[in-house]
Amino acid sequence: MNKIGVFYGSTVGKTKSFVEVLITHLEKENYEVRDVKNGIKGIENFNNLILISPSYGMGELQEDWKSLTSELEKIDFTDKNVAIVGLGNALRHPTTYLGAMKVIYDIVLKKGAHIIGSSPIEGHIFEHSPSIINNKFLGLALDEVNQHEETPIRMERWLKEIKKEFK
Ligand SMILES: Cc1cc2nc3c(=O)[nH]c(=O)nc-3n(C[C@H](O)[C@H](O)[C@H](O)COP(=O)(O)O)c2cc1C
């Protein structure tokens, strides 16, 4: 398997903590992890990518990701497997739940990415999410604020699926 690039942004730290757990489920020699506050230089060198953003504002990208939008839009994602992860708060933001996932999705899809790793909406209590396609979240949907205890099982189930698709 080619190296997996794990790129995340985190303002308050929940996403950072999640990433620390996530990488314990990846083989040591097989991934590189980057906090996007340090940029996304080299992202084009990975054929397997996990892109992770919490939602801020009204379902928008986390601030570091946001400042990288135009750079991200210039990357050619053709033939790359891209799995997206979103963290949000369904109780506080029930109508823009996990919106940042859709922002990443739209950018990378337009640039040819093969997007993998949808996840079920069952178990999430919210009114509306921009990040639902064909009745599923387009990536791994997590609410570390209200459903922290669900995260390990959601993550493990999802990882099993995306590992099958990474090449
Ligand atoms: C100002 C603000 C706006 C937010 N907007 C949304 C939102 O629109 N949708 C959502 O699902 N979560 C929203 N959240 C919740 C965050 O995504 C959630 O707390 C996340 O775990 C933060 O991740 P971080 O600690 O890595 O920064 C918002 C949080 C704040 C403080």
pLDDT band at 28, cuts 50/70/90?
A: confident
**Nearest CA among 55, 104, 61 for reference residue 84:** 104
Lookup result for tokens 């990357």: 75
pLDDT band at 88, cuts 50/70/90?
A: very high
Ligand 1 close to Cβ of residue 58 (< 6 A): yes
Residue whose CB lies within 8 A of the most ligand 1 atoms, among 7, 55, 132, for a mutation test: 55
CA separation for the pair 145, 142 (Å, rounded): 9
Which pLDDT tens digit goes with each residue over 34-65?
999 999 999 999 999 999 999 999 999 999 99
Ligand 1 close to Cβ of residue 91 (< 6 A): no
Residue whose CB lies within 8 A of the most ligand 1 atoms, among 89, 103, 127, 151, for a mutation test: 89
Please state the domain count of the chain: 1
Query: What is the arithmetic mean of pLDDT over 20-27?
Result: 96
Question: Could you list the residue range(s) of the whole structural domain that residue 121 is in?
Answer: 4-165
How many CB atoms lie under 10 A from the CB of residue 16?
A: 15
Q: What is the CATH number of the domain that holds 50?
A: 3.40.50.360
Q: Which residues contact 7 (CB under 8 A, 6 or more apart)?
A: 33, 34, 36, 40, 43, 49, 50, 51, 52
